[in-house]
């Protein structure tokens, strides 16, 4: 390739807003996630497999339920703000206000319910030590749900630099707090550090949105709550399906296997999340750009093809690295995680299919195929839970983390294939222009 061709490619990349947004999403947020990975390893060594399993259950439950608590408004706000910036910017303030109102309302209701059932739930799991952590979980869910919707709003404005800087600041705070807190107070110290950083993220996002939104006119208040809610409903059902089935998988591991196996699976899940850092960070970028280009069929299709290639590369390369370093990685967690290697190798294979699926997810949402996407997603989530139950029962709970990882891999492959089939027969060349 000639020097002139290379320079032309570099110029095109520099002038591409998609490339700039992607760069900030990857570099800024990627650094934050890398810091959190280090924090997770340190916490695991301090707590040991069993107590780390309890920490992992609270943290994973926060992520599962917070996604549902937003009622899908995070994704919806990205789409609506991107579109209204093009057609009617005077409604931007109203959309942002209504999105936050819906999120706050539902997250508070869920937090109250969880607080009320904390004791019976912990006793059902035969883990009475989880009663107070489950109560703390209510506050975590509210903070995480709010920050999720705030990130969706910022993504709608294409302010990925602000999202990145806020996440880095919170990750550094988690690093500085989690180590002394966990060493001194154990599980409660780790949860306190997590709660502080989640609250900090909400505050930083609030000021970022407040600064950005000043540029848009104050219009008479027109409620968009109903419109946002109806569009988000199938997305919310997807999130509830994911929440129920993922949390159900956590319960299966505890009841049919052990808290220790949950600890292994929680540790493995961190590496799964590490591989998916780049694809995950690009999700809002893809959704924002697909929404803003849906009136330009050529640019819209080009964005899909480019992002599919990017997503595959960004998941395949780290997958290979982690796979071949799995033995070395396992040693960082201490002797109680000795059986983690093979679980890690199986579970991270899911990331390739999960990553590429994200592009189709965004396309289904932008083209208003939310209900179709919800049906495919729900089938996948329920299928994983049923398959995990069958495998765990047949194996008497032995190697529970491996059983659940296997079920998850099969479900993820099914989901990716189903999305391709329905995209080609139901969505492709039928983009809704509104």
- Taking a C-beta distance cutoff of 8 angstroms, is the pair 68, 245 a contact? no
**pLDDT tens digit at each of 434 positions of the chain:** 444 444 454 455 455 666 677 677 667 677 887 788 788 888 988 888 778 878 877 877 777 677 677 888 988 998 899 888 888 888 999 999 999 999 999 899 988 988 898 888 888 777 788 888 888 888 998 999 999 999 999 988 988 889 989 989 999 999 999 999 999 999 999 999 999 999 999 999 999 999 999 888 777 788 899 999 888 888 888 877 777 777 788 888 888 888 788 888 888 888 888 888 778 777 777 887 787 777 777 788 888 888 899 889 989 999 999 999 988 988 888 787 878 889 999 999 999 999 999 889 888 888 888 889 999 999 999 999 999 999 999 988 888 889 999 999 999 999 999 999 998 888 776 554 44
CA distance 262 to 129: 16
- CA dihedral over 339, 388, 130, 42, signed as positive or negative: positive
Which pLDDT does position 52 carry in this prediction? Answer: 82
CA angle, residues 170, 191, 406, in degrees to nearest 5: 90
**Token pair of 387, please?**
């398959």
**Token pair of 45, please?**
């060594």
- Taking a C-beta distance cutoff of 8 angstroms, is the pair 260, 335 a contact? no
Q: First and final CA of the chain: distance in angstroms?
A: 42
On whether the pTM is more than 0.85, the answer is no
Nearest to 135 by CA among 64, 195, 68: 195
Which pLDDT does position 266 carry in this prediction? Answer: 83
**Token pair of 171, please?**
């990750």
Which pLDDT does position 9 carry in this prediction? Answer: 41
Show Cβ contacts of residue 88 under 8 Å, excluding neighbours closer than 6 positions: none
Q: Per residue in 351-384, is it b (16+ CB within 10 Å) or e — as a string?
A: bbbbbbbbbbbbbbbbbbbbebbbbbbbebbebb
CA distance 26 to 19: 10
Which pLDDT does position 28 carry in this prediction? Answer: 67
Alpha-carbon torsion angle 306, 310, 311, 315, nearest 10: 160
- Taking a C-beta distance cutoff of 8 angstroms, is the pair 261, 400 a contact? yes
Which pLDDT does position 5 carry in this prediction? Answer: 44
- Taking a C-beta distance cutoff of 8 angstroms, is the pair 164, 29 a contact? yes
- Taking a C-beta distance cutoff of 8 angstroms, is the pair 30, 281 a contact? yes
């Amino acid at each position: 390739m000639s020097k002139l061709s290379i320079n032309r490619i570099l110029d095109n990349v520099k002038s591409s807003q998609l490339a700039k947004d992607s760069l900030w999403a990857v570099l800024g947020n990627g650094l934050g996630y890398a810091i959190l990975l280090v924090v997770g390893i340190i916490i695991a060594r301090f707590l040991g497999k069993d107590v780390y399993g309890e920490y992992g259950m609270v943290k994973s439950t926060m992520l599962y339920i917070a996604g549902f608590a937003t009622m899908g408004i995070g994704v919806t706000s990205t789409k609506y703000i991107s579109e209204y910036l093009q057609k009617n910017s005077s409604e931007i303030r109203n959309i942002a206000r209504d999105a936050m109102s819906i999120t706050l309302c539902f997250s508070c209701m869920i937090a109250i319910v969880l607080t009320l059932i904390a004791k019976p739930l912990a006793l059902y799991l035969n883990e009475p030590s989880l009663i107070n952590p489950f109560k703390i979980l209510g506050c975590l869910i509210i903070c995480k749900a709010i920050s999720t919707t705030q990130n969706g709003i910022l993504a709608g404005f294409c302010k990925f630099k602000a999202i990145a800087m806020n996440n880095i600041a919170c990750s550094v705070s988690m690093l500085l707090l989690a180590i002394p807190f966990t060493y001194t107070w154990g599980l409660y110290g780790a949860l306190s550090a997590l709660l502080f950083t989640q609250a900090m993220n909400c505050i930083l996002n609030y000021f970022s949105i407040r600064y950005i939104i000043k540029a848009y006119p104050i219009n008479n208040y027109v409620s968009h709550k109903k419109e946002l809610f109806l569009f988000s409903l199938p997305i919310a059902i997807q999130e509830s399906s994911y929440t129920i089935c993922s949390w159900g998988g956590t319960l299966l591991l505890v009841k049919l296997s052990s808290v220790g196996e949950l600890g292994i699976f929680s540790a493995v899940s961190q590496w799964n999340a590490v591989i998916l850092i780049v694809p995950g960070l690009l999700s809002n970028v893809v959704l924002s750009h697909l929404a803003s280009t849906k009136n330009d069929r050529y640019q819209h299709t080009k964005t899909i093809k480019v992002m599919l290639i990017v997503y595959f590369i960004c998941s395949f390369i780290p997958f290979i690295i982690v796979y071949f370093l799995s033995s070395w990685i396992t040693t960082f967690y201490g002797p109680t995680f000795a059986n983690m290697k093979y679980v890690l190798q199986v579970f991270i294979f899911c990331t390739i299919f999960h990553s590429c699926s994200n592009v189709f997810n965004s396309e289904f949402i932008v083209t208003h195929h939310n209900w179709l996407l919800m049906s495919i997603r729900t089938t996948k989530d329920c299928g994983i839970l049923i398959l995990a139950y069958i495998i765990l029962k047949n194996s008497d709970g032995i190697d529970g983390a491996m059983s659940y990882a296997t079920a998850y891999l099969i479900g993820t492959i099914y989901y990716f294939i189903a999305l391709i089939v329905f995209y080609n027969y139901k969505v492709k060349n039928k983009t809704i222009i509104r």
